[in-house]
Structure 1
Amino acid sequence: MEQIVNFKAILFPSDGRQPTMVPLMTSLMSIPAHHASYTHSPSRMPHPEVHMDYIAEGLGPRAWKYHLVEALDGMNRKFAAPYIIFYPVVSRDGMPFPVNKAIQEIQGSAFIESVAWRGNIVVAKYRENPFTSMIDASMADFPILKNYLLTHGCPGH
C-alpha cells in the first residue's frame, strides 16, 4: 500500500508572492486497531510544514494548527468539499512569524494586525473528514478562499 500520497493545495506565501498550487504530502497515521474498519479510509497526516518557512523542525504536527472552513458567512448550507487552512504556530527561533503579505493584500483596509495570518498558509480541501478524505484543490477555489480570508483573521488570537 502506498505510504505517501500528495494532494493539490494552495499556498499563500508570507512574502507577498501570488498564491500558487503546491503538492501537500500526506502519510498514513498509525491508529489503534479498534478504530480500524474496512469501510473507512485510513487517516492521513498532512505535512504542510514542508511549505512553511521558519517553522520549528522535528515537532511535526505540533508546529502547526489548522482551521476548518465549512461555509462562508451568510450561507445556509455547508460546502460539499470544505477547506482546511494550515498555519504555523511554533517558529524555529521563538519569534513571531512574519505577517502574511499575500493575505494582508487581500484584506486591504480590513487588515487588522492583531488577528493577522502569519507565515506561509497552506489550504487543502476535503470531503466528510479532513484526515480521511482529502481531495485536490485548484485555483478555481481561490475566489472562495479570498472571500473567506477577506473577512476572517487567524483563529487563536
Structure 2
Amino acid sequence: MDQIVNFRAILFPSDGRPPSLVPLMTSLMSIPAHHASYTNNPSRMPHPEVHMDYIAEGLGPRAWKYQLVEALDGMNRKFTEPYIIFYPVVSRDGMPFPINKAIRDIQGRAFVEENAWRGNIIVAKYRDNPFTSMIDASMADFPILKNYLLTHGCPGQ
C-alpha cells in the first residue's frame, strides 16, 4: 500500500498567473533507489505531473525532468534546504509546451527564448536528498527562486 504524503510546493503557471502554493503529492517508491540503501528514510516519488498541463499521460516520471538548485551564483556555501525544480518534457501531442509567462516576466530583458522554461513549473524544497527528505516550501522562498530564475534558463531537454 503506497502511503501518499503531500508537501507544499510553488507552482509557476505557464499562463502568466502569479506563482502560488500547491500540494505536491508523493508516494513511496516501489523499488528502492540506489541512494536509498544508505539511509533510513524511504525514497518518495513526487508527482508534479498532477500540476502540469498538456503533459503526456501514463508516463509518470518519464514525462518530466528536474533541476537541483543548491546555491545561487556567487554563493560560497550551499543552501541548507535546497530546491528541486520540476519541468515537463513530454507533451500529450508532441508539440512544445508553451513558454512560461510567469518566468518570462521575471526574466524581463534577460529572457532568451532558446533557454525558456516551458509549461507549468513546480518547485519543491528538501533537506539532505530530494527523494528522501522533502519539506514544505512557502512563499518566503519566492525571492530566492526569483533570483535563480532571473539568471538561469531551462536546462537542456
Tell me which interval the TM-score lies in, with the shorter structure as reference length.
over 0.9
Paired-residue identity, % = 87
SS of 2:25's equivalent in the other structure is strand
Match of 1:22 in 2: 22
Deviation at 1:123, TM superposition (A): 0.1
Alignment of 1:20-59 (within 5 A): 20-32=20-32, 40-59=40-59
Residue 150 of structure 1: aligned partner: 150
Does the CA contact (< 8 Å) of 2:32 and 2:43 recur in 1? no
Deviation at 1:40, TM superposition (A): 1.4
Give the 3 Å change call, closer, same or farther, for CA 102–39 of structure 1 in structure 2. Answer: closer
2:67 alignment partner AA: H
Match for residue 132 of structure 1? 132
1:118 is matched with: 118
Q: CA deviation at 1:37?
A: 5.9
Deviates more, 1:39-48 or 1:106-115: 39-48
**Alpha-carbon contact 2:8-2:135 (below 8 Å) kept:** yes
Relative to structure 1, the CA distance from residue 36 to residue 46 in structure 2 (aligned partners, 3 Å threshold; closer, same or farther) is: closer
2:60 alignment counterpart: 60
TM-score (norm 1): 0.95
Give the number of equivalent residue pairs.
Answer: 157
Tell me the amino acid that sits aligned with residue 27 of structure 1: S
Structure 2: segments with no counterpart, 5+ residues: none
Quick check: 2:33–2:43 contact (8 Å CA) kept in 1?
Answer: no
Query: Structure 1 residue 112: deviation in Å?
Result: 0.2
**Aligned-pair CA distance for 1:31:** 2.4
Q: Secondary structure at the match of 1:55?
A: coil
Q: Using the TM superposition, give the Cα deviation of residue 38 of structure 1 relative to its aligned residue in structure 2, in angstroms.
A: 9.4
2:108 counterpart SS class: helix
Cα deviation 1:103-124 (Å, max 9, x = unaligned) = 0000000000000000000000
User: Counterpart of 1:87?
Assistant: 87
Distance 2:150 2:71 in 1: 14
Structure 2 distance, partners of 1:146, 1:124, is 14
Instruction: Return the letter of the residue paired with 2:65.
Output: K
- Residues 40-98 of structure 1: per-residue CA shift (max 9 Å, x gap): 10000000000000000000000000000000000000000000000000000000000
How far apart, in 1, do the equivalents of 2:18 and 2:3 lie?
A: 31
Q: Equivalent residues in 2 for 1:66-81 (5 A)?
A: 66-81=66-81
Q: Could you say what secondary structure the match of 2:6 adopts?
A: strand
Match of 1:104 in 2: 104
* SS of aligned partner of 1:24: strand
- Name the amino acid aligned to 1:23: P
Q: Which residue of 1 aligns with 2:7?
A: 7
